[in-house]
Structure 1
Amino acid sequence: MQPDVPSTAQAAEAGKSEVSAVRKFLLSRGNSALADRVFHVLMVVCGLSIFGIVILILAELVERSNLAWKTVGFKFFGNLTLNGSFWDPVNGHFSALPFVYGTLVSSFLSLLIAVPLAIGLAIFLTEMCPKLLRGPLAFITELLAAIPSIIYGLWAFFVLVPLLREHVNPLLIKYLGWTGLFEDTNPTGLGYFAAAVILAIMILPIISSLTREVMTAVPHSQREAVLALGATRWEMIRMGVLRNARIGIVGSVILGLGRALGETMAVTMVIGNTPQISKSLLDNGNSMSSVIATEFTEAVSDLHRSALIEIGLALFVLTIIVNGLAQLLVWAVTRGAPARVN
């Protein structure tokens, strides 16, 4: 027995009843000009609140770091040493140079490790992965991005650092020690390299997920056109997909860099927390975020606290610049313009 299908007349009658109900509601509400203006003001306040929060944070950091800025000046980011020490709170000598160095070294080294793996994972998920495996693998990748940083830090301290100390670092010292970047001077396994590896694991799902979304946005006609010209699968991916998605991929890498620059707990637990500059990546070091986390509660002088806040100000400005650049690049590739083959 066939189910009852509404006739055209019944559908028209239902539509009229809905229109009538909406008309009755609009007539019964009275004058809505005031409510519309209130709604408009509330939405504007919500939109401007983001700018207000950023300005308040920036103003507070500038005010709290004013003492260090007046005392040290531009030398705060230079080589201000006392008896070979960059950071000497007891004697009132402060230099952020080792922390800036540690932040940049660990962050960019993590990019060198994570970017090839992330792009390879994105290519596999987008172009080569079986449908049954694509969903679970994509879910696990995104799940990695949701794990708290303290969990990464604990895992790195108890699992990753012993693994590097016993198996990876000896190989690096044996085969790459001649470069000076992997000298056998730190038997603990902590240092720049350990921090870079855990950062690479943390930013890998971010870069991979964004890269996969950008690659998915490339029209299938691009792939078909390249294959129709006789290209292999790798040539199709390289010329038809990666070439069109290159700006978005760069944006995802910069977003990953922004996460690496501001990471605190995981880096604090494995970098060694020593305010020094060393050529060897296996030596202990420190970062801008980790020195704030470890010393702020123990700072006893106003100048010491002000110096730590000035480091936070520098990190805040750097993060804003990096994320702004990433958003600009991502917008450039996702603004709706069709992809082109150059």
Structure 2
Amino acid sequence: MALIFSSGSKGTMHSPSIQNIRSNSRRGDKIYLGVLGFAALVLFVLIVGIAATLAWQSRLSLQATGLKFVTLSVWDDAAGVYGIWPFLFGTLYSSLLALLLAVPISLGAAIFLAELCPKWLRTPITFLIELLAAIPSVVYGLWGIFVLTPFLRDKLMTPLAGKNIPLLSGAGYGPSMLTAGVILAIMILPFITAVSRDILQAIPKAQREASYGLGGTKWETISKVVLPYSRSGIIGAVMLGLGRAFGETMAVTMVIGNQPAQTDSGISFNLFEPGYTMSSALANKFNEAQPGLSTSALIEIGLVLFLVAVFINTLARILVRYTGKSVNK
């Protein structure tokens, strides 16, 4: 009887402590969930607040021009006419040019670092790539003015001047869409490389070992196993680089020339011609803007830039999800 009573009393003594532990654990989970939910809510409120502030501050321009603000090619403060089509075109054109130059190099470097590079060489190369990402954009701009622009002018633009080559014709004085594209490509290269390398390294070794076990070569394993398996992540890395190029201001402003093309539409696909981007237009025109419609139009440029950035990021998420599903199938 004593033993039964003793064991029963011990069981009664232990049960409240277990319940307290479970209760404290659930309370901690609720607090943790609340903190994370609050953090997510703050980010959402910030994004909505930025969009609402830009829309409110640009209301004068929205009322005066409406959708013509995006399609017009003339920006004339004296006449009160504001159109950003050359700026929008320059932003998209320079960013896509940067991707065309940077993606093959970045992807090749990421594959080399993840699959082929010796261990003793991997660390210093990785450090140098990450160092490129840490350089301020104004330093890239100064390098572009004093090194890249004269090099492209003397070695490429001047020899090809007057030869009527598609996309590579014109006087070519130095500051141009090509110079801006090269600068942007150099700036986004470390971001795409670093993210792609991490994604390639995260692929399970079993995938590679299965390919080797079936007699696959190194190149067959990379091209038919590694790259398809990491396709969605690489697309996300490319879109990250595109977002970086899309919003760059200082470096582009210093090398693009900051004037629309001398055409009726204000745009030109000629890489040797100067151009304009929305970011460089804001940097150049905001200090000289007069309160009222002029300032409101400049803020509307920021609103359009914000909306296009949201669209690009949404498209990136859709592409990543779609490619991820195709790989899992």
**2:114 counterpart of 1:126:** yes
What is the aligned partner in structure 1 of residue 251 from structure 2?
266
AA aligned to 2:272 is L
1:70 to partner: Cα distance: 0.9
What is the aligned partner in structure 1 of residue 226 from structure 2?
241
Separation of aligned partners in 2, 1:64 and 1:270? 30
1:299 to partner: Cα distance: 0.3
What is the aligned partner in structure 2 of residue 142 from structure 1?
130
Separation of aligned partners in 2, 1:67 and 1:225? 63
What is the aligned partner in structure 2 of residue 184 from structure 1?
170
Q: Decide whether the 8 Å contact of 1:248 with 1:329 is kept in 2.
A: no
What is the aligned partner in structure 2 of residue 8 from structure 1?
none
1:48 to partner: Cα distance: 1.3
What is the aligned partner in structure 2 of residue 283 from structure 1?
273
1:45 to 15, 38, 57: 38
Q: Which moved more, 1:320-329 or 1:217-226?
A: 320-329
CA RMSD of aligned residues (A): 2.9
1:302 to partner: Cα distance: 1.3
**2:145 counterpart of 1:157:** yes
**2:42 counterpart of 1:56:** no
Separation of aligned partners in 2, 1:122 and 1:34? 44
DSSP 3-state at the match of 2:83: coil
Separation of aligned partners in 2, 1:37 and 1:119? 43
Separation of aligned partners in 2, 1:41 and 1:170? 63
Give the paired residue count: 306
1:300 to partner: Cα distance: 1.4
Q: Decide whether the 8 Å contact of 1:107 with 1:260 is kept in 2.
A: yes
Measured against aligned partners, the alpha-carbon deviations of 1:31-83 in whole angstroms (never above 9, x if no partner) come to 99999987765554333111111111110100111111111111111135xxx
In the superposition, the TM-score normalised over structure 1's length comes to 0.81
Q: Decide whether the 8 Å contact of 1:190 with 1:272 is kept in 2.
A: yes
Separation of aligned partners in 2, 1:163 and 1:88? 34
Separation of aligned partners in 2, 1:125 and 1:186? 37
- Distance change (3 Å), C-alpha of 1:38 and 1:212: closer
Separation of aligned partners in 2, 1:279 and 1:324? 27
What is the aligned partner in structure 2 of residue 221 from structure 1?
206
Which stretches of structure 1, 4 residues or more, deviate above 6 A after TM superposition? 31-40, 331-334
Separation of aligned partners in 2, 1:40 and 1:115? 39
Q: Decide whether the 8 Å contact of 2:170 with 2:272 is kept in 1.
A: yes
Structure 1: runs of 5+ lacking an equivalent: 1-22, 81-85
Q: Decide whether the 8 Å contact of 1:110 with 1:197 is kept in 2.
A: yes
Structure 2: runs of 5+ lacking an equivalent: 1-16, 262-266
- Distance change (3 Å), C-alpha of 1:228 and 1:324: same
1:248 to partner: Cα distance: 1.2
> 1:57-206, aligned counterparts within 5 Å?
57-80=50-73, 86-170=74-158, 173=161, 177-187=163-173, 189-206=174-191
- Percent identical pairs in the alignment equals 46
1:315 to 305, 312, 318: 305
Q: Decide whether the 8 Å contact of 1:252 with 1:326 is kept in 2.
A: no
Measured against aligned partners, the alpha-carbon deviations of 1:307-338 in whole angstroms (never above 9, x if no partner) come to 1111111111111222244355556778xx9x
- Distance change (3 Å), C-alpha of 1:247 and 1:272: same
In the superposition, the TM-score normalised over structure 2's length comes to 0.84
Q: Decide whether the 8 Å contact of 1:245 with 1:333 is kept in 2.
A: no
- Distance change (3 Å), C-alpha of 1:233 and 1:150: same
- Distance change (3 Å), C-alpha of 1:197 and 1:142: same
Q: Decide whether the 8 Å contact of 1:251 with 1:325 is kept in 2.
A: no
- Distance change (3 Å), C-alpha of 1:90 and 1:213: same
- Distance change (3 Å), C-alpha of 1:172 and 1:245: farther
